[in-house]
Each structure stands twice: as structure tokens, then as C-alpha cells.
Amino acid sequence: MKIYEYPPEKLVGKRFECSCGYTHYSTVKGISVCDGAINELPETVKAIGTDTVFIVADENTFAAAGNTAVTLLEKAGIKCKVCLIKADNGFDRPEPTEKALGNIVMSYDASCGAVIGVGGGVVNDLCKLLSNTARIPYIYVPTCASMDGYTSDSASVIYNGVKTSVKCKCPDYLICDTDIISKAPKKLLLAGIGDMCAKTVSICEWRISNLITGEHYCDDVAEIMRRCFKAATDNAETAIGGDKNAVKEIVYGLITVGMAMTYAKSSRPASGVEHYYSHLWDMRCLEENRQCELHGIQVGVGTCLTLKKYEKLKKTTPDKEKALLSINSFDKQAWERGVRKYFGSSAESIIALEDKEGKYDKQKCASRLDIIVDKWDEILKIIEQELIPYGKLEALFKKIGHPTTPGEIGESDESAAKAFLHTSDIRDKYILSRLLYDTGETEPGDQ
């Protein structure tokens, strides 16, 4: 039995005893991807054994598919309690905050025997958390192909002002109606493609981290991601052109990536430094009370910026003396001042995190530096093997209309440079900014 089963429906219920030491499995019980899949909803609810469901959607997704879901369910004698989430402060889209989750929890009716999320990533993340807390089954009906969290067992939320990934549960059933998904606004599909294109970086950084920090790595899971990345780049143009089969291939990729994150027991296979750009832009937007760009588009731009930085890195060789000087000059108080200035209301959480994780611990940085110097050729080889050349991705993005620069998504070069610097602060994940820090290559003016 191969871990790269295709299409992903074939992965349901499978367990893979892997040479990496993990048993890879997902608790998703059913996946359906086809035109008209939404018609399977009543049957799925009946299989769960309930006659009352809690439906979560936003205004747009309710119009796109929520309405149909309610009609189908009520026709089958299933009672529907509907909760529409709303955007704050006149924004277009709701954000996954404590407030949004609180609203859902307060509207929740305990007589419901299942949660049905109808919408994009925010609806899905909030519903995962609700079903995890209320301990009832969850059916997800995506209305677009905008992100890869369909089947993952974590929710990407803003918690205490910090964009973070909260472990919860994956949907029990996924009903992907390709007829509905292919009618979604093109920009949402662009976001899904952006999110998928990040995998070239995430796999590269996963391998580099494995080499430097000994973080668990599974090449079978990495291979799944490489295939999803290829499927996304191969089908991007035709999918954006409206080809339904190509959209389906993107949807398959998004589902598979979610499964792979569950297999790896972390978001590592799907997210590297390019995702941190997105997290930081989200946090800054919240702080400045402005609407942030779609996750996948931010990630796509983050991927472009990251690829350029790796291309620059490839031309360097670490200078141990210079690196040690830089590592030992770390000034915790100056760092805290910088964090307070950048993160505002969430700064204290970031500082508390550093106290716990010691990402800038001089001893640890120096030990990593030894390994980096020792294994530099291997690091360069990984970069060479995993990363798509920037020019190639840029050409594809330009062809399909995906932004490639911060300016196109309402950010500036300066905000991107600042975000990159602070990507080292928000989580203990070994990424490009940490590698640059350890080698004393953090650009002047960053500190």
C-alpha cells in the first residue's frame, strides 16, 4: 500500500506503518469530490444518526451553498439551526478570532447532533474548534478552493493577537461539490494555488531543519507534497481559465496536503517561512484595524519573496567568526523593545514564548552554527533539489494573475522586510530567517 494514493478518497481509513517511525493516519471518515456532491449531505447526516444539525456559514457562502444545504436537509426531515458569521468593522470577510468563535459558541444549540460548515477557511477553522469542543461530528462543505486546511486537524486562528495553529480535529466528512467550488470567485482559486505553491519552500525548510535541529522528517510525506505542488503548478493556468477538471486537481491537492499535515503530526510539510509572512501581515492588519489579504495570496507573495532570498543565500558561505560575533551580540532588552514596537498588543505573548523556547539562546545558536558550517554543502543541495527557480514561479503567477510583490496586496517592501525579521519570533520552527540569524547573515538594519 502506497502513501501516495490518488485520488485522496482512497486515503480514507488507511493506516501506513512508515519507516520514519510514525504510523500515518487520518481520522477523516468520508471524502466525496464530484459535481453535485452536496446532494449526499442528508445521507451523511443520517449516517451520523442525528436529525438536527448546526450549520455555520457567512453571508456569501450561505448564498453559494448554505441555502441549498438547508433545502436538501429539510426535505429529508432534518432540522437546521443556522448561524451566519459576520465580518467586524465593515470588513468584507470575518477573521478567525476569539470573538468570532465566541459568537458561534453562544449561538450553538446543544440539541444539534452535528456541525456542518459551509464556506472557506475561516468557517472551517471555527467549525473544527466548535465540533472539537462540543464533541459532535463535523461535516465540511467547502465553497471554494482557497486554502489547504480542508482535512487538517488544526485550526489557524488569531489567539491573544498571535496568529497561531490550534490543534483540534479534522472534519469527519468532507463534501466537495466541484460544481459549487468552480463557481467561486477566481481570486479564491488564486489563493488556493498560492497556498499550494508554498510547498516548494516548506519541504525545503523541513529537510534543512531535520539536518540542523534533528526535527522529525518523513520523506514519504514530503513526496506527497512534491506531487501536490506539481499538480498545482501543472493545472494552475487551465484551472484559472475555468477548466473544471483542472479545478478538481487543485481540490485534490488541497485535500491531500491537509491529510499530509495530519500524517506528519504538524503543519511542517505545508508551511515554512512564506506562511509566516502571512501570519505577521494578518497580525499587523488586526493591530492597525485594516482588512488583510486572503491567506493563500499572502502566502503566494511570501513564497516569491522567500525564493529570492534563498537564491541570494545560495551564493554565500557561512563565516563562522562573523556569525559568532553576531550571535553573541544578541541583546534581549533591545529585542524586546523591537518586539513591543512591532507586535503592539500581542508583544507580551511573543516575549513569553521566547522565555519558554529560547530561540535566540546564544549557546543553542552556536551549536547549530557548528552543524550548519559542517553541512553547508548538504544544505545547498537541498535548496537546489527542492526549490523552484523564482523566475519560473513569477512567470506562472503573472500568467494567472497572482500577485508577486507586497505592493500588489496592500503591503510595502518595508512591511515585508520587517515581517521577515519577525518571522523568527512567533514560533519555534526552524525556517530561513533562523538560518540567516544563526549564520550572522541577518541583513544590517534588521536588528
Binding site for Zn ion (CB under 5 A): 18, 20, 22, 195, 218, 220
When the beta carbons of 254 and 369 are compared against Zn ion, the nearer one is 254
Q: How near is the Cβ of 217 to Zn ion at its closest, in Å? A: 9
391 in helix, strand or coil? helix
HSE (side-chain half, CA atoms, 13 Å) at 158: 22
Sequence-distant (6+) residues with CB within 8 A of 329 are: none
Alpha-carbon separation of residue 317 from 205, 267, 314, 438 (angstroms): 18, 30, 8, 13
198 in helix, strand or coil? coil
When the beta carbons of 20 and 351 are compared against Zn ion, the nearer one is 20
Q: How near is the Cβ of 124 to Zn ion at its closest, in Å? A: 12
Q: How near is the Cβ of 148 to Zn ion at its closest, in Å? A: 5
Q: CA–CA separation, 244 vs 179, rounded Å?
A: 8
Place of cell 479545478: 247
Q: How near is the Cβ of 218 to Zn ion at its closest, in Å? A: 3
Q: CA–CA separation, 140 vs 170, rounded Å?
A: 9
Cell of 210: 531535520
403 in helix, strand or coil? coil
Sequence-distant (6+) residues with CB within 8 A of 7 are: 33, 252
Q: How near is the Cβ of 47 to Zn ion at its closest, in Å? A: 30
Cα Rg of the chain (Å, integer):
22
When the beta carbons of 81 and 93 are compared against Zn ion, the nearer one is 93
When the beta carbons of 248 and 275 are compared against Zn ion, the nearer one is 275
Q: CA–CA separation, 383 vs 347, rounded Å?
A: 33
Q: How near is the Cβ of 39 to Zn ion at its closest, in Å? A: 30
When the beta carbons of 21 and 90 are compared against Zn ion, the nearer one is 21
When the beta carbons of 103 and 165 are compared against Zn ion, the nearer one is 165
When the beta carbons of 114 and 270 are compared against Zn ion, the nearer one is 270
Tell the burial category of 426 from Cβ atoms under 10 Å away from its Cβ (0-12, 13-18, 19+): buried
Q: CA–CA separation, 72 vs 41, rounded Å?
A: 8
When the beta carbons of 182 and 267 are compared against Zn ion, the nearer one is 267
Q: How near is the Cβ of 62 to Zn ion at its closest, in Å? A: 24
Q: How near is the Cβ of 50 to Zn ion at its closest, in Å? A: 32
What residue type is assigned to position 335 of the chain? Answer: W
Place of cell 489557524: 156
Query: Helix/strand/coil (H, E, C) string of 64-78?
Result: HHHHHHHHHHHHCCC
When the beta carbons of 205 and 220 are compared against Zn ion, the nearer one is 220
CB 117 within 8 A of CB 171: yes
When the beta carbons of 85 and 260 are compared against Zn ion, the nearer one is 260
Q: CA–CA separation, 440 vs 324, rounded Å?
A: 7
When the beta carbons of 158 and 365 are compared against Zn ion, the nearer one is 158
Q: How near is the Cβ of 221 to Zn ion at its closest, in Å? A: 6
Q: How near is the Cβ of 24 to Zn ion at its closest, in Å? A: 6
DSSP 346: G
When the beta carbons of 148 and 354 are compared against Zn ion, the nearer one is 148
Sequence-distant (6+) residues with CB within 8 A of 420 are: 273, 277, 305, 309, 433
Q: How near is the Cβ of 232 to Zn ion at its closest, in Å? A: 12
Closest to 145 measured CA to CA, from 228, 53, 27, 68: 228
Task: Give the CA diameter of the chain.
Answer: 73
Helix then strand then coil, in percent of the chain rounded to 5, is 55, 10, 30
Q: How near is the Cβ of 176 to Zn ion at its closest, in Å? A: 18
